[in-house]
Amino acid sequence: MSAIEQRPPLPPFTRETAIQKVRLAEDAWNTRDPGRVALAYTPDSRWRNRAEFLQGRDAIVTFLTRKWARELDYRLIKELWAFDGHRIAVRFAYEWHDDSGNWFRSYGNENWLFDENGLMAERHASINDVPISEAQRQYRWRQGRRPDDHPGLSDLGL
């Protein structure tokens, strides 16, 4: 595997590098660019997302393209929950609306396993959607990366 296929920080993770890895993942997902996001995963990465099972970057791109066509104005915050060696657990919440203007906050947990090059080999995600009103939204930054001064999940009481 060439150096270009590495995604620092590399395991084994420290608290600081695990936090960095989580923020890099959040930033990538907030681009809503399926091709860019898929590059953080091994070519044969295995996913469970809700009740859907995927394998490989092409399947990830297809899945994310479909997801973000449905989940409009998507904004995500991730937070480190735990880490050990090549594994990271995160909790997250994201806000989005459907094409009828109905808003949701989706809460979840992910378990990640990385290879030695820092690419995610496995992603297991459990997610629940909660309807919210437009007035209940808490993620109002411009589309893209969450500003550094925007509160995280714990700060927001989520």
DSSP string over 44-68: EEEEEETTEEEESHHHHHHHHHHHH
Q: In what order do the strands lie in the sheet with 103-114?
A: 52-55, 41-49, 120-132, 103-114, 87-97, 72-84
CA angle 10–14–19, rounded 5-degree value: 85
Phi-psi region of 123 (alpha: psi -120 to 50; beta: other; left: phi over 0): beta
DSSP class of residue 145 equals: S
**Domain parsing of the chain, residue ranges:** 11-139+151-156
The amino acid at 129:
D
SS3 of 11, please?
coil
Asked if the bond preceding 131 is cis, omega within 30° of 0, the reply is no
DSSP class of residue 143 equals: S
Q: Is the dihedral of CA 35, 53, 13, 31 positive or negative?
A: positive
Tokens representing 101 are: 């203007």
Q: What is the CATH number of domain 11-139+151-156?
A: 3.10.450.50
Per-residue pLDDT tens digits of the chain, which is 158 residues long: 454 689 999 999 999 999 999 999 999 999 999 999 999 999 999 999 999 999 999 999 999 999 999 999 999 999 999 999 999 999 999 999 999 999 999 999 999 999 999 999 999 999 999 999 999 999 999 999 999 999 999 999 99
d(CA 86, CA 90): 13
What pLDDT, on a 0 to 100 scale, did the predictor assign at position 4? Answer: 63
